Amino acid sequence: MNGISLISGPGHESASKRLGATIDVVDPIESKVHAAKFSTATGLACAFNGSFGTSMPSGALDAISSHFRVYDQVQLTLLNSLNLAGFVVGPLFFGPLSEYIGRRPVMISTFFGYLVFMLACSGAPNYTALLIFRLLCGLNAAAPMAVIGGLYADVLDDPSERGTAMSLYLAISGIGPLLGPFVSGFASQVSWRWAFWAATLIAVPTLPLVMTLPETFAPVLNNREIHKRRKNGDEGVEEAQITELHPFDAREIFLRPVVMMATEPILSLSSLYVTLANSLFYIAFQAYPLVFEGIYHLRTEIAGLTYLPIALGTVVAFLGFMVYTPWYDRSKAAGKPWAQREINRRLPIACFAAPLLVIALFWFGWTSKPSISPYVPAIGGFFSGAGFLLIFMSILNYITDVFREASASAHAGAGCMRSLGAIVIPLAAGPMYDRLGVHWAQSLLGFLSLVMGAIPFFFMKYGERLMQKSKAAQGVTR
C-alpha cells in the first residue's frame, strides 16, 4: 500500500485558472445558465432510470418464476443482486474514464447500453441469460453514480446549487427503486416481459436529452478548442497549452479507496452505517411480498402499492433536508453553540433519522399480523423511507465535508461497500425470514440498527478528534 497518496492532487479547476490567459479557453461554468440546467436535468433523468431499473423484477417475480420454472428464493434474489453487482464495479471504472475522455461519451454510451440490455432482458431465452443481462444492465446504470458528482461540479459553481442538485439526485435515486415493483406488478399481469418493456419505454424519452448533452469537463473542452484552432492554422497554440488529463492509473483507482477504508475510521464507520441503511432499503423488496402477499394475500399489483408510503417518506425527507439548510445558517448566525462547527452541519440530521429507522423496523415486524389491517404495516414504511434518505444524504455529505480533496476516493470506497452490502445482505435475508419469521427477523434488524444508530452521535462528540489524526482529512483540520 506504499505509494498510494491519500491526498488528491488539484481538484476541479476551471481551464482558465490552470492555463492562464494565453488563449481564450472554454470554461463550462461560464456557459449559459440554461446549459447548466439542461445538464443537471439530464443527469437526474439518467439517475432515475438507473435506480428505477434496479428493482424492476420485484413486482414480476411470480410471473418470472412460473415462466422459467425457478422457485428457489436465492436464485430469484439474484435478479436484483446481480444488477447491483454492476454498481460495485461501475463507479470504479466510469468515474476515472469520464476524467480521461470526458463526461459526454461516458453518459451516452452507458445510457444506450442500459436501454439495450433492459430490452434484452425482455427477450431472454432462459434464466441464465436473464441474469447476465441484469448484470450488464446494472453495470451501465452505475455510470451516473460515478459521473454526476463531477458533472455538477463542472456546471454549478455555487456550492448551494451543487448541494441542492446532489440532494435531489440522492432523493431520486431513493424513489426510483420504490416505483419499480409498482410498475412491474401491473405490467406483469400481461406478461413478465412487459415489466422490462415498461422500463425501456420509460427510459426512451431520456435518450434525446442524453444524445444532446454537451461536454462539461473543462480539460476536454480546452483540448478540443486547441485542436480546432490548430486545424484552422492558428500558429499561436503551443503544445504546452494542452491540458494533461487525469491519468488512467488502475493501481491508483482501485487501491486508494481500499487504503482509505482501512485507515480512516470516519470513512469506515460512515460507510458501514450507510451500507446498513441501504441494505435495509433493498431487503424491503423481499419482506414486503412475504407480508402483503403471503400474510394478507393481496394481489401482486395491489401489493406493489404498499411501497408508496416509503416513497412518500423519501419525498418528505428531501423537503425537510432542504428546509434544514437555511435553518442551520440562521442558527449559526445567531451564535448557537451546536451550529458553530461547520464540519458537523449534516450530523444532526443523521442523529434525528437514526431512531426513525429503528421505529420503522419494529413497527413493520410486529404489526404484520392477519388480525391487524395491512394499512398499519404499510404506513410504517413512511418512517423507513424518511429515515433511510435522511441518513443517506447526511452521511454522504458528511464524508464530502470531512475529506474534501480526497472525497472522490472516499465516495468510491463507500459506494463499493454500499453496493456489496445491498447484494450480500438481501441474499441472507431469505433464509433469515424463513428461520426467524417476519416478527423476529425484523426485530433482529431493528436491534442492529439501534446499535449502528450510535455512529452519528459518536461523530458529533469524537469526530473532530478523529479528523486531527487523519491523513486524508488533515487539510480540513489544519
- For residue 179 the three cell numbers come to 416505483
Cβ atoms of residues 100 and 35 within 8 Å: no
Least confident segment among 97-101, 195-199, 260-264, 390-394: 97-101
* 202 and 328, same domain (yes or no): no
Q: What is the pLDDT of residues 79-137, one digit of tens each?
A: 988 998 898 888 778 877 887 788 899 999 999 999 999 999 999 999 999 999 999 99
* 266 and 300, same domain (yes or no): yes
Residue 149 lies in a domain: yes
* 131 and 164, same domain (yes or no): yes
457 vs 159, 275, 325, 392, CA distance in Å? 26, 17, 19, 15
pLDDT greater than 70 at residue 405: no
CATH number for 453: 1.20.1250.20
Residue 456 lies in a domain: yes
Residue 2 lies in a domain: no
* 133 and 199, same domain (yes or no): yes
Amino acid at 196: F
The fraction of the chain above a pLDDT of 70, given in percent, is 85
Q: What is the pLDDT of residues 35-69, one digit of tens each?
A: 788 888 999 999 999 999 988 898 898 899 999 99
> What's the pLDDT band for 234 if we cut at 50, 70, 90?
low
pLDDT greater than 50 at residue 214: yes
| pLDDT of res. 13 | 47
* 333 and 367, same domain (yes or no): yes
Q: What is the pLDDT of residues 147-192, one digit of tens each?
A: 887 788 778 776 667 767 878 888 888 888 888 888 998 898 899 9
pLDDT greater than 70 at residue 245: no
pTM of the model: 0.76
Distance CA 288, CA 355 (A): 21
Residue 13 lies in a domain: no
* 187 and 280, same domain (yes or no): no
Cα atoms in the 13 Å half-sphere on the side-chain side of 345: 18
Mention every residue, 6+ apart, whose C-beta is less than 8 A from residue 228.
none
Q: How many C-beta neighbours within 10 Å does residue 157 have?
A: 14
Least confident segment among 200-209, 259-268, 452-461: 259-268
Residue 21 lies in a domain: no
Amino acid at 127: Y
> What's the pLDDT band for 19 if we cut at 50, 70, 90?
very low
Mean pLDDT over the full length of the chain = 83
> What's the pLDDT band for 15 if we cut at 50, 70, 90?
very low
Q: In sequence order, which ranges of 232-264 are alpha helices (DSSP H)?
A: 250-263
Q: How many domains does the chain have?
A: 2
Distance CA 392, CA 350 (A): 8
Q: Which of 275, 221, 247 is nearest to 104 (CA)?
A: 221
Q: Considering only residues 196 and 100, tell me which one the structure prediction assigns the higher pLDDT.
A: 196
The whole-number average pLDDT for the span 255-271 is 88
* 306 and 452, same domain (yes or no): yes
Residue 466 lies in a domain: yes
Q: Which of 168, 197, 231 is the last residue of a domain?
A: 231
Residue the block writes with cell 435515486 = 173
Residue 245 lies in a domain: no
Domain extent, residue 104, equals: 28-231
Residue 388 lies in a domain: yes
Mention every residue, 6+ apart, whose C-beta is less than 8 A from residue 300.
59, 60, 62, 185, 188, 189, 289, 293
* 85 and 195, same domain (yes or no): yes
* 141 and 85, same domain (yes or no): yes
Distance CA 392, CA 170 (A): 8
Q: In sequence order, which ranges of 102-240 are alpha helices (DSSP H)?
A: 103-122, 127-141, 143-155, 159-187, 192-203, 206-211, 218-231
* 323 and 197, same domain (yes or no): no
Mention every residue, 6+ apart, whose C-beta is less than 8 A from residue 6.
256, 259, 260, 263, 264, 406, 409, 471, 472
* 312 and 222, same domain (yes or no): no
Q: What is the pLDDT of residues 310-320, one digit of tens each?
A: 989 999 999 99
* 261 and 214, same domain (yes or no): no
Cβ atoms of residues 82 and 53 within 8 Å: no
Residue the block writes with cell 425527507 = 317
> What's the pLDDT band for 389 if we cut at 50, 70, 90?
very high
Cβ atoms of residues 477 and 400 within 8 Å: no
